[in-house]
Structure 1
Amino acid sequence: MAWQISGQYMETCNCTFLCPCIVTNLQGTPTEGNCKAALGMQIEKGSKDGVSLDGIAFITILESKGPMGKGDMTVGLIVDSSADDAQVQAITAIASGAAGGPMAALAPLVGKFAGVERAKVTVTREGEKWTARAGDLIDETCEGVLNMEGRPLALDHASHPVNARLALAKAVRSMFNVFGIQWRDDSGTRNGHYAPFSWSG
């Protein structure tokens, strides 16, 4: 059966702003040599195989040992603890690319699927500042980079699975500690993005 989800996304990564991965079509070497990123996704409306996914939040976390385009990435998934087993199964199929859709294009680059954790996941917005949290596993905030009119700068036509148009942001805070992926930074110099998303398959 066809599926669809739509909502809001934000992410931070360990690269110094602006992340070279996005502007080199995944061929650039991350600024720290490796890439660690967490993508917070708040589904506002969605369903798969008759299972409602309305209101469920999840975070996809990944680590690449070098340029993302070379593959061998480790990817894990954290789904909100309010989700039941059928919802977790549906989101896992979508987020891993197994159900097709935008994430399927990245699936060949994944060398290890680290599994699924459940935690209280929230994705919230305050103006142009976005925060995603997952228990004590993920705590990240990014804030939009604004032009002189106070509007967020954006990158268009990006080859990114979430949206071809991404707001540019700097990570205010990033803490990852899950699936053996660890990162902590509050320097305000690291990369972030946010955008609405609409996926289907």
Structure 2
Amino acid sequence: MAWQISGQYMETCNCTFLCPCVVTNIQGMPTEGACKAALAMHIEKGNKDGVALDGIDFIAILESKGPMGAGNMTVGLIVDSAASEAQAEAVTAIASGSAGGPMAMMAPLVGKFAGVERAKVSITRDGEKWTARAGDFVDQTCEGVLNMEGKPLVIDNASHPVSPRIALAKAVRSVFNVFGIQWKDETGTRNGHYAPFSWSG
């Protein structure tokens, strides 16, 4: 059966702003040599195989030892503990790319799927500031980079799996500790993005 999800996403990564991955079509070397990122997704509306996914939050964690385009990435998922087992299975199929859709194009670059953790996941917005938390695994906040009119700067036509139009942001706080992927930064100099998304498969 066809599936669809739509909602809001935000992420932070360990690259110094602006992350070279987006502007080099994932061929650029991460500024720290390796890429570590957490992509937080809030599903506003969605369903798969008759399973309603409205309101489900999840976070995809990834690590690439070099340019993302070189492959051999490690990817894991944290699914909100409030989701049922059927909902968690549906989200895992979508987020891993096994159900097709946008994440399927990333699947050949994944060398290791680290599995699924369950934790309370929350994604909140305050103006152009986004925060995502998942138990003791993730605590991240990004704030939009604004123009002189107070509107977020965006990259359009980006080859990004979440959305082709993503806002530029700086990571105010970026902490990951899950699936053997660890990162902590509060300097405000690291990269972030956010955008509405709509996926189907």
Q: TM-score scaled by structure 2?
A: 1.00
Which amino acid letter does the alignment assign opposite residue 45 of structure 2? K
Q: Aligned residue for 1:112?
A: 112
Q: Deviations over 1:97-130 (max 9, x none)?
A: 0000000000000000000000000111000000
Matches of 1:123 and 1:63, distance apart in 2: 21
Q: Aligned residue for 1:16?
A: 16
Matches of 2:84 and 2:167, distance apart in 1: 32
Q: Tell me, yes or no, if structure 1 residue 58 matches structure 2 residue 61.
A: no
Aligned-residue offset at 1:30: 0.1
The alignment-based identity, stated in percent, is 81
Q: Aligned residue for 2:85?
A: 85
**RMSD of aligned residue pairs (Cα, Å):** 0.3
Q: Which runs of 5+ in 1 are unaligned?
A: none
SS in 1 for 2:87: helix
Aligned-residue offset at 1:70: 0.3
Matches of 2:128 and 2:32, distance apart in 1: 26
Deviating beyond 2 angstroms after TM superposition, the runs of 4 or more aligned structure 1 residues are none
Q: Which runs of 5+ in 2 are unaligned?
A: none
Q: How many residue pairs were aligned?
A: 201
Aligned-residue offset at 1:21: 0.5
SS in 1 for 2:164: coil
Alignment map for 1:116-155 (pairs within 5 Å): 116-155=116-155
SS in 2 for 1:89: helix
